[in-house]
């Protein structure tokens, strides 16, 4: 066998860490929203970043110490937002911006 294998599974991300991650994207979300106000071509990117931040906030609820029904509602929101599609939209719109 080559390489070192982990001796323990990675620790789960905490609600506080998910909240911090959501806070870290606030600036990007605000810049995208401002760009969309000035030019509607940025709407899709702005909406996708807003959805991404919401996913992070909902993950904080799921990983936190809240009640079961609150966690279920948060997970339903995450599922509805469809994170792979949100990521795909962000990537597509950033590529368009680089080309255009």
Closest C-alpha among 50, 46, 56 to residue 94: 46
Q: How confident is the model at residue 81 (pLDDT cuts 50, 70, 90)?
A: very high
Average pLDDT over residues 53-64: 97
Q: What is the pLDDT of residue 43?
A: 97
Distance CA 17, CA 24 (A): 11
57: which 2 tokens?
């906030």
42: which 2 tokens?
């940025």
CB-based contacts of 34, cutoff 8 Å, min separation 6: none
Average pLDDT over residues 14-31: 96
Distance CA 28, CA 26 (A): 5
Q: How confident is the model at residue 8 (pLDDT cuts 50, 70, 90)?
A: confident
77: which 2 tokens?
């929101």
Per-domain residue ranges of the chain = 15-99
Q: What is the pTM of this model?
A: 0.86
């Amino acid at each position: 066998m080559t390489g070192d294998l982990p001796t323990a599974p990675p620790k789960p991300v905490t609600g506080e860490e998910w909240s911090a991650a959501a806070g870290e994207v606030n600036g990007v979300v605000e810049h995208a929203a401002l760009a969309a106000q000035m030019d509607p071509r940025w709407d899709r990117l702005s909406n996708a970043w807003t959805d991404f931040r919401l996913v992070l906030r909902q993950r904080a609820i799921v990983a936190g110490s809240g009640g079961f029904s609150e966690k279920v509602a948060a997970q339903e929101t995450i599922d509805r937002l469809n994170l792979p599609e949100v990521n795909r939209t962000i990537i597509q719109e950033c590529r368009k911006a680089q080309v255009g």
